Each structure stands twice: as structure tokens, then as C-alpha cells.
Amino acid sequence: MKNSKSTIIAPVTLGLIGVFMWQSQMLHRILGADTFTMPLPARIFGIITENIAKILFNMQATVMVAIGGLILGSVLGYLLAILASNFPKWGVGGLSVISSFNAIPIIAIAPILNNLTKDFSSDPNTRSMLAKILVVMITCTVSMSVNAYRGFIELKPFSEDLMRSLAANRMTVFFKLKVPNSVPYIFTALRVSVPASIISAMVSEYFAEYIIGVGRQIRENIVLAQYATAWAYITAAITIGIIMYVILIIIEGICMKGRR
Amino acid sequence: MTKLQKKKLTDKLVILVWIIGLIVIWEIGASIVETTKRSPQNVLPHLSQIVESVFSSKPVSNKQTAWQIVTSNATITLLRAGTGFLIGTLIGFILALAMNFFKLVEKAVFPYLMMIQMIPILGMAPIVLAITQDIDKSRIVISAILTFYPVATNMLDGLKSVEKEKYDLMHSLAASNWHIYTKLLLPTSIPYIFSGLKIAAPMAITASILVDTLQGGAGLGTMLSQSLKHAMSIYVFWQIVFFSAFIGILSYKLMSFAEKMFSPHEKAKGSR
Amino acid sequence: MRKISKKFVALFVFIAAVFSVYANGNKEVAPAKSYYASNATVESIVKDAATKGQVGNWGLGNEYEIQALLTKYNLPTTYLSQAFDMDGFDDDSILLASAMTYNELGLVKNDYDGGYGYGNKVSFIDMNSEGVAMLEDNLFTKADFAQANPNTVKAFIYASMKGWEYACANPEEAAEIVFNNGSSVSPQHQAYMASEVKKLVETDTAGNPVSIYGKMDETAMAQTLALAKKYIKLEDSVAAKALESMTLDDIRNTVFWDEAMASAGKFDVEKSDVSIQLKWLPQAQFMGYYVAKDKGYYSEVGLNVTIVPGGGDIGEPTAVYTGQVDFGVTWVSNLIAAKAAGMDLLQIAQVYQKSGLVLVYKTEE
């Protein structure tokens, strides 16, 4: 119990020290930064409270894109892993080819998808939403497919043979052995995908036709040199990230109960 | 032909078939786009057109051909990515050691390491620029910031994976901390470090391209964005898309190769 | 096994359904009308495009003139985000697209590499004649830099304006100099750009010729500030208040320009190695600076100038303010926004005398 207390107290203490040093400009003196590009916390907080409605509105748009792409990408990645594990000869090669998509920068993928989704809808909000979700999907598919595939093949020694010898058919082996075995690997993938989904959602917003979202607001304000406002939105982005990550950890805790 | 050689050959064939499949899908898409769009080369050109642009001797800008632009700017970007990667790896290394040595540091610092990864580069860049006063230094620093995280987390996992019995044994043999680290902890964590490096290397490259776009000058990202703005042939953009994917995969392979060099005893097991 | 195959069938049906919706969507999108009659009034065109939600602009501080125009015709000030190419205009998702006369308009009309080749099948709405013009490319520096290095600032203004004068007198040669010094863009497009930029430098918003380069016209500056106050929306209440109470004296200082232009071209410079950050890619939009460097005008006044291209997301005000460069070229509205946020910047010359922003549309033919 003592252990878990310090898990919370230590980072909070460090955070408070950090905020204090930031607000008192000690941090600025150490780094050689100015209060302009690194605005003070009090001012950032002031902007957040004054514009909370607008910030929440933009957060909602970003969260929808991030979660939509995360779900689509993870489901697709899992399905690909199932296919790959059922046809290992072809699947492994396919997975390694698909992994190469991760080597293309998002700033190159986003404009391509923007152009490709132009005909999807006559409503710019709908079609840019689709383009953004697809960008996030691409970033999330790879880590899920690679990890889930490992979950399907890295079974306990002889467990599959044992089940087979008990005359279990492929379906039973799949649902009773492989799927449960892949659960921890799903969470490994999600722990990478959740932060990645938010970052790629924000970058895709830079390029989207319809002007909305935390990422777009950050860009507008940085370009216009409104750093304090930009940091209010960056705080919003980090908040989304922390909330989604904590939710993931809670779900993981529930799903993995009794496994360890 | 041994069984192993045969397997390797089929593996290669499989990948080839997959690549051909992707090419076919791309080409179908390009054919549809060709008939429905007024400027298909901006949406999805035929692969043959991209290949043609690589070999074209027509200068697209400043007396350079498209391919010359890509290669000359790639050198600059890759150099920055490489420097950033080295610095990032070093920072990751030190952080992992510090976090393993002092449990309190791990608890206090780790959540913030993750939070730093959530700050968009665009927000980070002006601060770094104000501190370094130089855009190229800023580009390297940001590449480093984006790469240390996978190295640090994976190495920390590696250091923690050492079985307690072995650790206790070393202690009972009155080994010094230095010995424990060099003889036990570091060797055990090598595979973990490399799985971190394998994530970090392609990331350093995509990050470096992204950071290029923050300001004018030279670099793959700068050319990519100039090409998107139609300041030069759009094929420069398409070439960079493929080039960056290729370099990313190459950097991954390079790390796998280095891994084999560093851990010869792993060879027998046939590392994946 | 049967269960799995059922699931696969369901999946395929789902995918097929998505594709059929997509295909149907395709048919519906075919726009009924994406062209305007050549005799259509500005009001009717703006109204039509705005009600369909198909007016485009890049945003990021480039949108104020468009918003002022929309307000003029009692329309909502929302617009579509236009990429930095004209693909959206080309594929009809944007009916009324923003374009700079010297850049995008040329790409739309001409058919050299990167161009769309519309020729005379397009027409445009001019912000100057609509009375919503805001001044664009200026020359600015940091206030304390100007105070500490007054002769350097004057020398830089003097040599730069000499460069602009030569460039406007010889646009073709200027285009060639830019093409050879810059890192991008076709020579034909540079020649087009130089000829268009010359018009912006030598004509004011009312269409009268201007013979002195870099002059800060009081009326045009005042109009720019007034429109900026109305359309720059700042969420930071401190910055918003600063914007509201801003006067022309806060953003520009005419003394340096006056003294530089009245001088005989001899300066005792405090700092000889200086740099200038451009607003955009290296192109004829900035030909005056390239010419001044190429023709040795900068070295004549004792300056060694480095030209830094722009076009990234770190704006020129930030680059100048953080001390990375000494001078910058930006739009007056962007300078106003940066000033409101607290950056102590100062405009020292106004190179473009009228707005180069237009809204381009396709015409029936």
C-alpha cells in the first residue's frame, strides 16, 4: 500500500515543483527561454477558464477522430492478425509489408488522404472527418496487427498440441486458447496506439479542409504568435492523452484481473 | 538446398507477391483517379509516372532534377535525424539507468516522459528555437526529444527483466554495483534496448522530416511541403513519400543487423 | 468453421454496402453549377459561394480580408480551409478560392509545370476595389534591435529599396536572379510573379501609381489596422485588450525609412552581418532583397546579408523576436497580432502598396 501511495505522491510533487519553477520564471532562467514562447502557467490557466466552451468543443472533435481511428485501426489490425495466424505462410510477409506504412510520415499521408476522400460527401465536415479518421487508423493498425499476431503464436509450450490431442477443433483452439492469450498483447499495442492516435489526429487536423480541433487551434495560434493561447490548447491535448491513457489502464486492470 | 535456405526463399517470394498486390491496388486506384480527376497527378499518379520522374533529366528547380533534389536534401535530413537519434539514444540510456537505480526517480519522472511525447512538435519548436536561436540545432534537439522515449522505456523493461535470483546471486558474491551493471544488467537488457532502437530509428527519420517543415531552408520535409505548395513538380512529393518509407525500413533493418552484431550468442536461437 | 465463414460473409456485405454508399455519394456530388456567368455581379457570386459554404482561404492569419468581404455582403464569416495548392479549386470543392495575384492566380491560369492551365476561363474579385484591402508584405525588425542599431536598420532599408527599385525596373532580370538564388520554382513562373509583384509595389489601393519604394501610406495602414481590430479574434483576453487599444504608432516607425531615403547612401553600421526572414518560399515575391544582394547593394552600405526562406509554421515574427534573424517580411495583420500578444516588433517599411489577395472563380465560356 505504501508503494502505491508514492506512485501518486512522487509525480505530483515533481509536477508542483515544476509548475512553481515555471511560474516563478526559474525554469526560464535555467533554460534561457522567455515568458513569451513559454508562457506562464497562470496565464495559460486564465485563457483556459475564459474559453472553456470553445476549448471543449474543439477537444470533442479531436477525441472523436482519435477514438474513431483507434477503434477502426485496432479492429482492422486484429482481423489482419487473425488472417495472418491462420495463413502463416502468407500472413507474416503481409504483416511486414504493412509495417512499412509506419515509415511514411503523417504529414505526407494526411494530404494524400484529404485528396482521396474528396468525393465521399458534399459536406466538408463529414469528408474531412473521414480523412482524419483514416490517417489515425493507419497509424493504429500496424502496432495492433504485429502485437496481436505475436499473441496468437506465442502460446504456452505444447498447449495447442494438448488441445488438439483432446480433439478440440480449430474454432475451439482459436477462441479458448489463442484469443485469451492475445489479450495482454492487445494492451501492449494499445499503450502505443492511444498516445499515437491523439498525435496523428492533431497532425491530420492541420491539413483538413474543415477547420476544427485542438491540433488546428494549436497551429493557428502558433502561426499567429499567440503562444499563451496555443499552450492552452496544448494543455487540452495533454489532458485528452492522460484521460484516454488512464481509461486504458483501468480497462487493462479489469481485463487482466487474476491473470498475473 | 537446405530446408532453411528454402524457407528464406519462400519468405522472400511471399513478400514479393504482397508488394505486387499493393502495386496492383495502387494502379487500380490510379486508373480510377485518372478518369475522374482533372489533375490526377496531384491525387494519385501511376507508379510508372513516379518512376519516370526519378529518371527524368528535366530540371524542376534551381537546375536540379527531381531526384537530385530528393537525394541532396535527404542527406541533410538524415544527418540531422542521425545526430538527433544518437543524442536521443544517449538520453534514453541515462534516463533508464537513473530510473532503474532510483525507484523514486522512476515514479516521479516516468509519467512526464510520456506527457512530453504528447506535446505537439509545433508547440515545442518555438521554445527550443528561442533557447537555441538556431533552427538547425532546434531540429536536432526535437528529433532527440522524440526518440529517447522508446529507448528509455524498453531499456528500463530490460533492466527490470533480470531475474531476482541472478541479482541476489551477484550480491551474495559481493559483486560491486559496477560489476552487476556491466556483467548482468546491461547484457540482459541488450535485446530490449535494440527493440527500443528499432522503434526509435524510423521515428527519428519521420520526426526529422516533420521538423524540417517548421521553417524554410533545406531538408526533405521542406521540399515535401514546397512541392505540395506547387512551388516545384508534385513528383518531388511522391518521390519523397516512397523514399522516406524506404529509408525508414532500411533504418529498421540496420538496427536488426546491429543487434545481431552485438549479441552473437543470440544467433543460435535464431532471433526474430 | 461455419461460424467464421458466416462472419466473413457479413464483413464482405458490410464492405460492399460501404462502397455502394460511397459510389452513390459520388453521383450526388457532381455539382449542379460550379461556374459563374461572366457578367455576374460580385455580390451574387460571393452570396452563392458563401451560402453553399464553398469559399476557400488558407486561414492562419490570411483570412481577414475574406471575412471583411463576407461581412460586407452580410454573410457568415466561415470559410473552408484551403491547402497551399489549388487542387480544391480545380476539383470544384471550392467555388471561390483565395489566390495571390502573383502566385496562385498564375498557377491557375498558366500551364507551366505546377500550373492548372485555365487560361481565360477564370475571373477574380479584387480586395482593393471591394474596399477591404489590407496591406501585406512589409519590412520589420525588433524594437530594441532598431534602437541599438539605427544605422544598420537605415542601411538595410536604403539598400533593400534600391533593390526593389531595380527589380521593378527590370522584372525579367530580377526573376532570373531569384531563380538562380532561390531553391525552387520554374523560371516561367518567376517571370510571371515578378511582373505581378511590380504592380503591387508600384500601385496603391485606389489604383494610383506610387513612385517611392517602401512608403508607409497612412490611410492604407489605418484601414489595415481597423480591419485587423475587427477580424483578428484572440482568445487571450490580455492580447485582445492590447489589440483593441492599438494605434499606428505602436506598430510602425517612419523615422528610419525617412532618414534612409533622404540619405546619400553612406552609413556607419553597428552590425554588419545581418539576416532577413522571408514570409514564404524563395520566390520573386521577395525579388527586391535578392536583387539587392546580387547587385551588391548590401555590400555597398557595409552589410553582409543572409536571406532565410520561410513557409514553415514558425512565423516570421517569432523568428525575429527570438533573435534568430534580424529583419523579417510579414503581412501587416500578422505583425499586429504578434504585437498584441506582446512581441515588441516595429514595422520599418511597407513594400507592397496594395493587397495582392483575390478570390478566383471559374467562368462560363
Count up the domains in chain A and report the number: 2
Q: A165: which residues sit within 8 A by CB, 6+ positions away?
A: none
Q: Are residues A47 and A32 located together in one domain of the fold?
A: no
Q: Are residues B15 and B146 located together in one domain of the fold?
A: no
Of C76, C52, C77, residue with least CA distance to C67: C77
For chain C, count helices (H), then strands (E): 17, 10
Residue type, C266: K
Contact yes or no for B129 and C87 at CB 8 A: no
Which residue do the cell numbers 496591406 mark?
Answer: C135
- pLDDT digit string, tens, across residues C323-350: 889 999 999 999 999 999 999 999 999 9
Pick C101 or B64 by higher pLDDT: C101
Range of the domain at B1: 1-43
- What is the mean pLDDT of the segment spanning C114-137? 93
C-beta of residue C107 within 8 angstroms of C-beta of residue B234: no
- Asked if residue A165 has pLDDT above 60, the reply is yes
- pLDDT digit string, tens, across residues C38-54: 889 999 999 999 999 99
Q: What is the pLDDT of residue B270?
A: 40
Structure-block grid coordinates of residue C148: 541599438
Q: Are residues A91 and A168 located together in one domain of the fold?
A: yes
Q: Which of residues 173-202 of A touch B (CB under 8 A)?
A: 195, 198-199, 202
Q: Which residues pair with C97 in a beta bridge?
A: C56, C360
Q: What is the pLDDT of residue C185?
A: 58
Asked if A106 is an interface residue toward chain B (Cβ–Cβ < 8 A), one would say yes
C327-328 and C304-308: which strand pairing?
A: unpaired
Contact yes or no for B62 and C114 at CB 8 A: no
- pLDDT digit string, tens, across residues A30-62: 888 888 888 999 999 999 999 999 999 999 999
Instruction: Quote the CA–CA distance of C316 and C60 in Å, as a whole number.
Output: 13
- Asked if residue B45 has pLDDT above 80, the reply is yes
Q: What share of chain B in percent tops pLDDT 90?
A: 24
Q: Are residues B202 and B255 located together in one domain of the fold?
A: yes
Structure-block grid coordinates of residue C238: 490580455
Structure-block grid coordinates of residue C40: 455576374
Q: Are residues A58 and A30 located together in one domain of the fold?
A: no
**Residue B268 binned pLDDT confidence (cut-offs 50, 70, 90):** very low
User: What is the full DSSP assignment across C20-50?
Assistant: HHHHHHHHHHS-S---B-TT--HHHHHHHHH
- Asked if residue C10 has pLDDT above 60, the reply is no
A210 located within any domain: yes
- pLDDT digit string, tens, across residues C196-229: 999 999 999 999 999 999 999 999 999 999 999 9
C4 located within any domain: no
Helix A52-86 with A214-223: angle, nearest 10 deg: 120
Count up the domains in chain C and report the number: 1
Contact yes or no for A225 and C1 at CB 8 A: no
- Which of B8, B11, B18 to mutate to test binding with chain A, by most A CBs within 10 Å of its CB? B18
- What is the mean pLDDT of the segment spanning C104-122? 90
Q: Are residues B8 and B106 located together in one domain of the fold?
A: no
C-beta of residue C185 within 8 angstroms of C-beta of residue B231: yes
* Set of chain C residues whose Cβ sits within 8 Å of the Cβ of A171: 1, 3-4
- Which of B122, B131, B243 to mutate to test binding with chain A, by most A CBs within 10 Å of its CB? B122
Q: Are residues B116 and B216 located together in one domain of the fold?
A: yes
Sheet holding C273-277, edge to edge: C304-308, C273-277, C327-328, C138-142, C345-350
Angle of CA points B27, B33, B38, to nearest 5°: 140
Q: Are residues A64 and A99 located together in one domain of the fold?
A: yes
Instruction: Quote the CA–CA distance of A229 and C116 in Å, as a whole number.
Output: 38
Q: Are residues A141 and A204 located together in one domain of the fold?
A: yes
| Three-class DSSP category at C363 | strand
Q: How far is CA B100 from the centre of its chain?
A: 26
Asked if B268 is an interface residue toward chain A (Cβ–Cβ < 8 A), one would say no
Of A238, C234, A51, A43, residue with least CA distance to A35: A43
C-beta of residue C137 within 8 angstroms of C-beta of residue C215: no
Contact yes or no for C308 and B216 at CB 8 A: yes
Instruction: Quote the CA–CA distance of C46 and C64 in Å, as a whole number.
Output: 15
Q: What is the pLDDT of residue C281?
A: 86
Q: C317: which residues sit within 8 A by CB, 6+ positions away?
A: A225, C140, C328, C330, C334, C335, C337, C338, C343, C345
B218 located within any domain: yes
B51 located within any domain: no
B17 Cα to chain A: minimum distance (Å): 9
Q: Are residues A33 and A47 located together in one domain of the fold?
A: no
Range of the domain at A64: 40-255
C-beta of residue A48 within 8 angstroms of C-beta of residue A119: no
Q: What is the pLDDT of residue C30?
A: 43
- What is the mean pLDDT of the segment spanning B194-200? 88
Q: What is the pLDDT of residue C96?
A: 95
A260 located within any domain: no
B29 located within any domain: yes
Q: What is the pLDDT of residue B132?
A: 85
B59 located within any domain: no
B53 located within any domain: no
Instruction: Quote the CA–CA distance of C124 and B209 in Å, as a whole number.
Output: 36
* Nearest CB to B122; choose among A13, A90, A222: A222
Q: A22: which residues sit within 8 A by CB, 6+ positions away?
A: A28, A38, A40, A41
Contact yes or no for B230 and C180 at CB 8 A: no
Of C275, C314, C288, residue with least CA distance to C198: C288
Q: Are residues A19 and A145 located together in one domain of the fold?
A: no
Contact yes or no for B215 and C180 at CB 8 A: no
User: What is the full DSSP assignment across chain B?
Assistant: --HHHHHHHHHHHHHHHHHHHHHHHHHHHHHHHHHH-SSHHHH---HHHHHHHHH---EEETTEEHHHHHHHHHHHHHHHHHHHHHHHHHHHHHHHHHHHH-HHHHHHHHHHHHHHHHS-HHHHHHHHHHHH--HHHHHHHHHHHHHHHHHHHHHHHHHHTS-HHHHHHHHHTT--HHHIIIIIIHHHHHHHHHHHHHHHHHHHHHHHHHHHTTSSSSSHHHHHHHHHTTSS-THHHHHHHHHHHHHHHHHHHHHHHHHHHH-HHHHTT---
**Residue B42 binned pLDDT confidence (cut-offs 50, 70, 90):** confident
C257 Cα to chain B: minimum distance (Å): 28
Q: What is the pLDDT of residue A148?
A: 92
Pick B193 or A75 by higher pLDDT: A75
Contact yes or no for C341 and A36 at CB 8 A: yes
- What is the mean pLDDT of the segment spanning B38-49? 89
Instruction: Quote the CA–CA distance of A131 and C91 in Å, as a whole number.
Output: 17
Q: What is the pLDDT of residue C183?
A: 57
- Which of B15, B127, B132 to mutate to test binding with chain A, by most A CBs within 10 Å of its CB? B127
Helix C287-294 with C187-202: angle, nearest 10 deg: 100
Search chain B and give the residue with CA nearest A16: B108
Q: Are residues A216 and A91 located together in one domain of the fold?
A: yes
Contact yes or no for C314 and B231 at CB 8 A: no
Query: C-alpha distances in angstroms, C86 versus A57, C42, C97?
Result: 30, 21, 8
| Three-class DSSP category at C284 | helix
- Asked if residue C82 has pLDDT above 70, the reply is yes
Q: Mean pLDDT, chain A, as a whole number?
A: 88
- pLDDT digit string, tens, across residues A100-122: 888 888 888 999 998 888 888 88
Q: Are residues A44 and A26 located together in one domain of the fold?
A: no
Instruction: Quote the CA–CA distance of B66 and C130 in Å, as a whole number.
Output: 41
A221 located within any domain: yes
ipTM score: 0.85
Count up the domains in chain B and report the number: 2
Q: Are residues B34 and B88 located together in one domain of the fold?
A: no
Structure-block grid coordinates of residue C24: 452513390
**Residue A1 binned pLDDT confidence (cut-offs 50, 70, 90):** very low
B76 located within any domain: yes
CA-CA-CA-CA torsion sign (A142, A143, A149, A150): positive
Search chain A and give the residue with CA nearest C18: A120
Range of the domain at C340: 138-355
CATH number at A59 reads 1.10.3720.10
- What is the mean pLDDT of the segment spanning B179-190? 79
Residue type, C110: N
Pick C101 or C180 by higher pLDDT: C101
